[in-house]
Amino acid sequence: MKIQLPFTVKMIIEKLESKGYDAYAVGGCVRDTVMGKCPSDWDICTSALPCETLDVLKKDNIIKNGIKHGTVTVRFDGQNYEITTFRTDGSYLDNRRPSNVTFVSSLREDLSRRDFTINAMAYNDRDGLTDYFSGAADIEKKLVRCVGEPDKRFNEDALRILRALRFSSVLGFDIDKKTSEAIHKNAELLKNISFERIMSEFVKILMGKNVESVLLGYSDVISVFIPEIIPMIGFEQKNPHHVYDVWTHTVKTVAAVKNEKTLRLAALLHDFGKPQKFTVDENGVGHFKGHPKVSAEMAKNILTRLKADNKTKNDTVKLIELHDVRISPEPKYVRRLAAKIGEELYPSLIELKRADSLAQNPDMRSQKLEYADKLQRIFNEEVSRGAVFSMKSLALNGNDIINLGITDGVEIGKCLKYLYTLVINGEAENTKQALTEKLRDIKKD
């Protein structure tokens, strides 16, 4: 098999080889090229020790970080290339980190410490593809399979449990039976992994095309770090709008929404408050009054625990709070809703509502989708006619108001709010002249 290596990778490998060392492209980049995809970054492994790698590449633009883990980073044409010395990991502590790493001279040993067969292939032009663990065959079979004994590999490093789910979700691969059994068996070990590392993998799982089967098939794993899902699993909704239990509906909403981080998180967390808010009326029909607010509070706690950044957290919470609003599809109400959620987030809210409908009873779907389309269309029309959704876009600002003779800060604030409400409600045009007149009117009164 011939892989077209990028110029820089080829150059680094050839320089190392010319000094008698072995060097290969390795890991994700080989997996991606074997799959016919363009890798986002290229990692290189070599028999040269870090100081020897530095020596060989000394004229190049070298960043000396991570040298103690055996990694030298070379920056070239704005891109980083990581060159790591062949190594094995020593014994593992706390299911998450090796106590020490040992440099070794054989590629085989280096590949055998790697997590999955599809990630344990190496390539250079001299030797072609090195694939001791049948990674290429597993790519063909669309299978995530541990290198070595799965139970042992997950005990060494529990993050691999989420990495397996991530590759399954992103690549659309199944997980090999033995690997899958070991994932279920060892899921609790994730308690030893920091929430930052969990979150980073979990977001990738959520973004994958195979997210539905991963979340449904491995809810026991997800519940280790988000135990709030446990009451949702199998929770029947007893409502004609729904055909799935709360967890299945949730997962289907995630799969139906665009794969954008905030949207996928909002879809995941939008109904978490349902089990708490469940009531059954005299006809035996289930209701969840007030669940968006409870879900939003729970989402805030969960995202704080998982160390989401503030923007992601705030946007997600806002979307959840408003996911169930039912406004009359008229410009005035659309403007109010857009003002409430913010112009930037409004399309995401509609996208979330659309996905939520897609995950409900198919018999009632088309009218809900039409409604979502209408809310988006009206918003688009409002945007193109220059409608205002935030106080900042008012045609009159604080200085203009001062120039009209109102100098008290509190009064200025009140005026702005008053004008903003008029504009949102369609009772005034957003022009300097119209707004000035409105202020003159109240001054007269």
**Which stretch of DSSP H or E encloses residue 276?**
helix 274-277
Closest CA to 42 of 100, 99, 3, 93: 3
What's the closest the beta carbon of residue 109 comes to ligand ATP, in angstroms? 13
**Cβ atoms of 211 and 254 closer than 8 Å:** yes
Indicate whether 28 belongs to the interface with Mg ion (CB under 5 A).
Answer: yes
Q: Quick one: 24 or 272, whose CB is closer to ligand ATP?
A: 24
Q: Quick one: 43 or 356, whose CB is closer to ligand ATP?
A: 43
DSSP code for 439: H
**Which stretch of DSSP H or E encloses residue 62?**
strand 62-63
| Half-sphere exposure (Cβ direction) of 38: Cα atoms closer than 13 Å | 1
Task: Choose from ligand ATP, Mg ion, none: what does 115 bind? Cβ within 5-8 Å by kind.
Answer: ligand ATP
Beta strands per DSSP E along 244-355? 279-280, 286-287
Q: Quick one: 116 or 420, whose CB is closer to ligand ATP?
A: 116
Stretch that binds ligand ATP, among 155-163, 254-262, 293-301, 370-378 (CB under 6 A): 155-163
- Interior/surface letters 280-316, b for 16+ CB within 10 angstroms, e for the rest: eeeeeebebeebbebbbebbbebbeebebeeebbebb
- Over the window 15 to 54, marking each residue x when it contacts ligand ATP by CB under 6 A and - when it does not, the resulting string is ------------xx-----------x--x-----------
Task: Name the one residue in this structure whose structure tokens are 């939003």.
Answer: 296
Indicate whether 145 belongs to the interface with ligand ATP (CB under 6 A).
Answer: no
* Residues ≥6 apart with Cβ < 8 Å to 303: 265, 269, 312, 313, 316, 317
Stretch that binds ligand ATP, among 114-122, 134-142, 274-282, 420-428 (CB under 6 A): 114-122
Task: Choose from ligand ATP, Mg ion, none: what does 114 bind? Cβ within 5-8 Å by kind.
Answer: ligand ATP
Closest CA to 45 of 116, 105, 132, 131: 105
Pick from 139, 144, 159, 175: which binds ligand ATP (CB under 6 A)?
Answer: 159
Pick from 47, 53, 119, 295: which binds ligand ATP (CB under 6 A)?
Answer: 119
Stretch that binds Mg ion, among 2-10, 23-31, 90-98, 211-219 (CB under 5 A): 23-31
Indicate whether 382 belongs to the interface with ligand ATP (CB under 6 A).
Answer: no
Indicate whether 342 belongs to the interface with Mg ion (CB under 5 A).
Answer: no
- Reduce the DSSP state of residue 75 to 3 states and report it: strand
Pick from 53, 143, 154, 160: which binds ligand ATP (CB under 6 A)?
Answer: 160
Pick from 157, 212, 351, 356: which binds ligand ATP (CB under 6 A)?
Answer: 157
Pick from 22, 110, 115, 382: which binds ligand ATP (CB under 6 A)?
Answer: 115
Beta strands per DSSP E along 188-276? none
What's the closest the beta carbon of residue 188 comes to Mg ion, in angstroms? 28
Q: Quick one: 6 or 329, whose CB is closer to ligand ATP?
A: 6
What's the closest the beta carbon of residue 120 comes to ligand ATP, in angstroms? 6
Pick from 87, 114, 242, 264: which binds ligand ATP (CB under 6 A)?
Answer: 114
**Cβ atoms of 154 and 161 closer than 8 Å:** yes
Phi, psi for residue 321 in degrees, rounded to 5: -55, -40
Q: Quick one: 136 or 395, whose CB is closer to ligand ATP?
A: 136
What is the rounded CA–CA span in Å between residue 257 and residue 279?
A: 28
Q: How many CB atoms lie within 10 A of CB 345?
A: 21
- The residue type found at 68 is K
Indicate whether 131 belongs to the interface with ligand ATP (CB under 6 A).
Answer: no
**Cβ atoms of 151 and 120 closer than 8 Å:** no
Structure tokens at 336: 């109010």
**Cβ atoms of 423 and 330 closer than 8 Å:** no
Stretch that binds ligand ATP, among 156-164, 209-217, 370-378, 430-438 (CB under 6 A): 156-164
Task: Choose from ligand ATP, Mg ion, none: what does 119 bind? Cβ within 5-8 Å by kind.
Answer: ligand ATP
Q: Which residue is nearest to ligand ATP (CB)?
A: 28
What's the closest the beta carbon of residue 39 comes to Mg ion, in angstroms? 8
Q: How many CB atoms lie within 10 A of CB 101?
A: 17
Task: Using CB under 6 A, list all residues that contact ligand ATP.
Answer: 27-28, 40, 43, 114-115, 119-120, 157, 159-160, 163
Task: Using CB under 5 A, list all residues that contact Mg ion.
Answer: 28
